[in-house]
Amino acid sequence: MKRVLTAVVLIPLVLVAVFKAPLWLFATIVAAIALFTLHEYLNIVETAGIKPFRWLTYAVGIAPFALFGYSLWAAAPALRQYHAYPINLALLRYWIPVFLLAALIFGIPLVFRKDLKGGLSSVAASIFGTMYIPLSLSCLVSLRSSPGQQTLILFVLLSVWSGDIAAYYVGRAFGRHKLAPIVSPNKSWEGAVASVMASVAVAISVVHWNEELAKHFTDSSSFGHDISLWSFSSHGRVWLSFSSTTLHAILLGVLANVAAQFGDLFESALKRGAGVKDSGSILPGHGGFLDRIDALLFAIPVVWYYATLTNFLGSY
Q: Angle 112-114-117 (CA atoms, 0-180°, nearest 5)?
A: 105
CA distance 297 to 75: 30
User: Which tens digits make up the pLDDT trace of 240-253?
Assistant: 444 577 888 899 99
Number of structural domains in the chain = 1
CA distance 191 to 61: 34
Q: Is residue 315 part of a domain?
A: no
Q: Is residue 316 part of a domain?
A: no
Does residue 103 register a pLDDT over 70?
A: yes
Taking CA atoms, 289 is separated from 74, 160, 243, 282, 302, in Å, by: 32, 15, 37, 7, 20
Does residue 188 register a pLDDT over 60?
A: yes
pLDDT at position 8: 65
Does residue 225 register a pLDDT over 50?
A: no
Q: Angle 201-137-35 (CA atoms, 0-180°, nearest 5)?
A: 135
Overall average pLDDT of the 227-243 stretch: 42
On average, the pLDDT of the chain sits at 83
CA distance 40 to 195: 27
pLDDT at position 309: 86
The residue range of the domain holding 165 is 2-310
pLDDT at position 228: 39
Overall average pLDDT of the 179-205 stretch: 92
Does residue 229 register a pLDDT over 80?
A: no
Q: Is residue 45 part of a domain?
A: yes
Overall average pLDDT of the 205-223 stretch: 70
pLDDT band at 281 (very low <50, low <70, confident <90, very high): low
Q: What pTM was estimated for this model as a whole?
A: 0.86
pLDDT at position 86: 56
Hey, which of 86-95, 113-122, 214-223, 294-303 has the most confident mean pLDDT? Answer: 294-303
Looking at residue 136, its amino acid is: S
Cα Rg, the chain, nearest whole Å: 20
Overall average pLDDT of the 290-296 stretch: 93
pLDDT at position 208: 80
CA distance 109 to 25: 33
Does residue 215 register a pLDDT over 90?
A: no
Does residue 221 register a pLDDT over 50?
A: no
Overall average pLDDT of the 14-27 stretch: 86
In DSSP notation, 78-112 reads TTT--TTS--TTHHHHTHHHHHHHHHHHHHHHHHT
Strand residue runs (E) in the chain: 178-180, 184-188
Query: Could you tell me which residue, 75 or 104, shows the higher pLDDT?
Result: 104
In DSSP notation, 39-73 reads HHHHHHHHHTT----HHHHHHHHHHHHHHHHHHHH
Overall average pLDDT of the 288-310 stretch: 92
Share of the chain above pLDDT 70, in %: 82
Q: Which of 141, 186, 192 is nearest to 300 (CA)?
A: 141
Q: Which of 303, 210, 308 is nearest to 260 (CA)?
A: 303
Q: Is residue 150 part of a domain?
A: yes
Reduce the DSSP state of residue 53 to 3 states and report it.
Answer: coil
pLDDT band at 223 (very low <50, low <70, confident <90, very high): very low
H or E element at residue 302: helix 289-310
Overall average pLDDT of the 222-251 stretch: 53
Q: Which of 51-65, 79-93, 108-122, 265-279 has the lowest mean pLDDT?
A: 79-93
Share of the chain above pLDDT 90, in %: 51
Helices (H) and strands (E) in the chain — how many of each?
12, 2
Q: Are 4 and 284 in contact (CB under 8 A)?
A: no
Overall average pLDDT of the 115-142 stretch: 94
Q: Which of 179, 289, 143, 310 is nearest to 241 (CA)?
A: 310
Overall average pLDDT of the 114-141 stretch: 94
Does residue 160 register a pLDDT over 80?
A: yes
pLDDT at position 106: 95
pLDDT at position 79: 44
